[in-house]
Amino acid sequence: MIIFEDKKFIKTPFESEEELEKVVIENYEHIFGPTSFYLPKALIKTGDGIGTIPDGFAIDLASKKWYLVEAELLHHNVWGHIAPQISKQVIAALQGLSKKIIEDLAVDQYQKEHSTKEKFEEQQIKEIDVRKELSNILDKEPIIGLPIDLVSGDLKEWARTLKYSVKLWTITKYVDFNDKNSIIYEFPEEFKPTLDTEEEQDQQKSLCDLTRYDVTITDLIESGYLQIGDKLKMTYKPRNGNKMKYEATILDDGSLEVLGQTYSSPSYAALAGIQDAGSERKTANGWARWKTKNNKTISELRDELLAEEQSDNSKML
């Protein structure tokens, strides 16, 4: 339950898969990340010509990964519905013609939507290189991206048996107890999946107890990579504005103070600056944007901490 003033929002099932799908499309950056863009449904076919239509496709320009997206409700049987449907979609998505369809959709969206074009520009991808960059990304195997209302043991076990990487994100719906038209949705913090089989495999190989999703600013402070009172810096230039510089102060609880406000997440702190600069962006990856006085991103410090953990664990074996 979530309480806001005199309102009580209670956890409520989605009315339909279409409702969940609509929420995902409207808020996809909170799942696939701020450098991602979302493509609509399209018919793709297996090698034998069997057609299938995933809920959409997402491409993340920073990580150079792409997602086959299927929003699901867990009351659909894992073995009778979710598993066979996803299997057919993956087989179809791997076909050359299917990848060409997705690539053409992405190029068309780049040409028509300013927000998508801006993401290419932020990654310093020139217009002449757009199709080549998309082709290189789509040459890789897709990640199966499943936004879902609940995650069961069977679903996790099925995901872990697949050859392809699977990410599950739990999306939760809450409705005002006294007003059924007042609805809010809960999304994961910092784009963290409920299950990430790729991250699990990397964790097993590295012998590290932590994943990058687990590391916080407090962890970096306790490990000596940052100190309370340190200043972090960020620059941002909106599409039609001037470059702005921002400074964040690390507080004793690991939060960041920016523009006189305190933020528990580096990404929210970065977003505050980005919107202050005049951008309409709704998300930001603060781990990649905030830098130390030595010009290292806090994402790089996070990687160093994980590498140190791995080294320490190896010495204990």
Are residues 199 and 291 located together in one domain of the fold?
Answer: no
Are residues 57 and 146 located together in one domain of the fold?
Answer: yes
Domains in the chain: how many in total? 2
Are residues 224 and 198 located together in one domain of the fold?
Answer: no
pLDDT tens profile 205-252: 655 566 778 899 999 999 999 999 999 999 998 877 789 999 999 999
**Type of residue numbered 68:** L
pLDDT tens profile 162-210: 999 999 999 999 999 999 999 999 999 888 999 999 988 876 665 556 6
Q: Give me the domain span that covers residue 181.
A: 2-206
Q: How far apart are the C-alpha atoms of 119 and 123, rounded to whole Å?
A: 6
Does the residue 187 lie in any domain?
yes
- Which pTM value belongs to this model? 0.88
pLDDT tens profile 60-109: 999 999 999 999 998 888 998 899 999 999 999 999 999 999 999 999 99
Are residues 8 and 155 located together in one domain of the fold?
Answer: yes
Closest CA to 69 of 116, 17, 136: 17
Mean pLDDT score, 262-291: 94
Average pLDDT in the chain: 92
Q: How far apart are the C-alpha atoms of 265 and 263, rounded to whole Å?
A: 6
Does the residue 211 lie in any domain?
no
pLDDT tens profile 113-156: 999 999 999 899 999 999 999 999 999 999 999 999 999 999 99
Are residues 169 and 274 located together in one domain of the fold?
Answer: no
Q: How far apart are the C-alpha atoms of 312 and 181, rounded to whole Å?
A: 53
Angstrom distances, CA of residue 129 to CA of 58, 133, 267, 268, 290 = 19, 6, 29, 31, 28
Please count the other Cβ atoms lying within 10 Å of the Cβ belonging to residue 84: 12
